[in-house]
């Protein structure tokens, strides 16, 4: 294969991988990190919990995140990256839809919020919260892996920060319930992206993945 052809294929693969990351990976901050890391304490207090109680709920959420991240690490090579993402997307969509329903109906008292948030974080940590970083290290050919991973990581945290900033603006303008309707829809769309466009990387070495992707 000529050098120019190799460069052309590598650039094509980089563009596909970047599309994978922007379309799939950056769906993650749309419905994941910025809510449960930045605003959970505020919503626990607004739901009627005292400051000390709200801090306790935050600890529970953190432990849930840790536990299901460890579970994802233990099963990711058995069930596959794509399966985890598909199951996680469905679970997160359901819980985000329930969030939207509760906030739009005004029924945010008691432990409903805590229960739903634990469920959401469980699905998030066991799927996109862990899998995206594995895919980021596998989807690029060896000769551009460092550059591609850097671009993907930067884009993820850039959009994470942007959405963290915009979340209060969205809730102030459209209401918390409508914000979660948007998050639920974004997560639902990600399911079909993972289903039709994501390539399974389970059980393959980096060299095998590169040959597979360049061959296509």
Contacts of 104 by beta carbon, 8 Å cutoff, 6+ apart: 175, 177, 178, 181
- 17 pLDDT above the threshold of 70: no
Q: Give, in words, the CATH class of 30-215.
A: mainly alpha
d(CA 27, CA 88): 13
Specify the pLDDT at position 78: 93
Lowest mean pLDDT of 47-56, 149-158, 182-191, name the range.
Answer: 47-56
* Total count of residues recorded for the chain: 216
Specify the pLDDT at position 18: 36
- 145 pLDDT above the threshold of 60: yes
Tokens of 75: 């099963």
The more confident residue out of 158 and 38 is: 158
Using CA atoms, how far residue 21 sits from 25, 31, 137, in Å, is 5, 15, 11
Query: 71-124 pLDDT, tens per residue?
Result: 999 999 999 999 999 999 999 999 999 989 988 888 766 677 788 889 999 999
What burial letters (b/e) apply to 8-31, b meaning 16+ CB within 10 Å? ebbeebbebbbebbeebbbbbbbb
d(CA 150, CA 130): 17
């Amino acid at each position: 294969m000529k050098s120019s052809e190799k460069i052309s294929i590598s650039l094509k693969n980089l563009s596909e991988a970047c599309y994978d990351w922007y379309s799939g990976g950056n769906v993650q901050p749309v419905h994941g990190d910025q809510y449960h890391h930045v605003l959970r304490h505020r919503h626990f207090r607004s739901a009627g919990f005292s400051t000390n109680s709200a801090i306790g709920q935050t600890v529970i959420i953190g432990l849930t995140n840790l536990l299901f991240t460890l579970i994802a690490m233990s099963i990711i090579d058995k069930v596959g990256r794509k399966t985890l993402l598909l199951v996680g997307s469905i679970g997160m969509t359901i819980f985000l839809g329930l969030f939207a329903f509760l906030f739009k109906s005004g029924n945010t008292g008691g432990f409903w919020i805590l229960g739903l948030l634990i469920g959401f974080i469980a699905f998030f940590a066991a799927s996109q919260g862990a899998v995206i970083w594995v895919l980021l290290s596998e989807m690029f050919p060896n000769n551009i892996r460092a550059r591609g991973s850097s671009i993907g990581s930067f884009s993820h945290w850039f959009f994470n920060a942007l959405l963290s900033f915009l979340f209060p603006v969205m809730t102030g303008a459209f209401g918390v319930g409508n914000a979660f309707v948007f998050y639920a829809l974004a997560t639902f769309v990600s399911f079909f992206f993972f289903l039709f466009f994501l390539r399974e990387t389970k059980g393959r070495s980096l060299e095998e993945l590169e040959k597979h992707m360049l061959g296509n």
